[in-house]
């Protein structure tokens, strides 16, 4: 007996649709990925607790106070100018190059946002790592 062999069909895998799906997935992941940029300043937000925290007398603390008019003072000494350069010079003088000292920024509630950003920029340029924004406890509403 003589059997006929069936002709084999060529099996093709359609790669075009596979490549299209891969490109769509790649596009989806690129669009939905969030790119974070690490900031240079680490901001420690104050916590509301009753009582006053214990002060460490060995570490010199720096305080930048900003009035409602945008006038800067570093450790209760008014600055002659209200610009970034004079603030940097005053912080260098007060800290003696110690950027590990805690730095707190106290701003009036009506201070322009730019003045606070200028103070944070000066701290960042000098390399301060312990930055605190001070607040007062809100009065309870009746």
Q: Based on the structure, what is the number of domains in the chain?
A: 1
> What is the extent of the structural domain holding 66?
62-136
Domain annotation covers residue 115 = yes
Q: Give the pTM.
A: 0.56
Domain annotation covers residue 128 = yes
Residue-by-residue pLDDT tens, the chain, 142 positions: 677 777 777 877 788 888 999 999 999 988 888 766 554 444 444 455 555 555 555 567 888 888 888 889 888 888 888 888 999 999 888 888 788 888 888 888 788 888 889 999 998 898 888 888 887 665 666 6
Domain annotation covers residue 9 = no
Contact 48, 137 (CB under 8 A): yes
Query: Going edge to edge, which strands form the sheet with 62-66?
Result: 43-44, 131-133, 103-107, 62-66, 72-74, 77-78
> With b meaning 16 or more CB within 10 Å and e meaning fewer, what string describes 40-65?
eeeeeeeeeeeeeeeeeeeeeebbbb
Backbone angles phi, psi at 55, to 5 degrees: -90, 140
**What CATH number does the domain containing 97 carry?**
3.30.420.270
Domain annotation covers residue 79 = yes
Domain annotation covers residue 76 = yes
């Amino acid at each position: 007996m003589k059997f006929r062999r069936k002709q084999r069909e060529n099996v093709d895998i359609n790669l075009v649709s596979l490549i299209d799906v891969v490109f769509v997935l790649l596009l989806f992941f690129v669009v939905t990925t969030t790119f974070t940029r690490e900031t240079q300043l680490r901001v420690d937000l104050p916590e509301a607790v009753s009582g006053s925290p214990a002060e460490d007398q060995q570490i010199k603390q720096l305080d930048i106070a900003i009035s409602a008019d945008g006038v800067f003072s570093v450790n209760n000494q008014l600055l002659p100018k209200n610009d970034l350069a004079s603030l940097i010079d005053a912080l260098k003088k007060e800290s003696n190059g110690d950027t590990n000292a805690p730095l707190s920024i106290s701003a009036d509630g009506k201070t322009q946002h730019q003045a606070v950003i200028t103070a944070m920029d000066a701290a960042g340029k000098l390399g301060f790592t312990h930055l605190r924004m001070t607040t007062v406890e809100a009065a309870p509403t009746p």
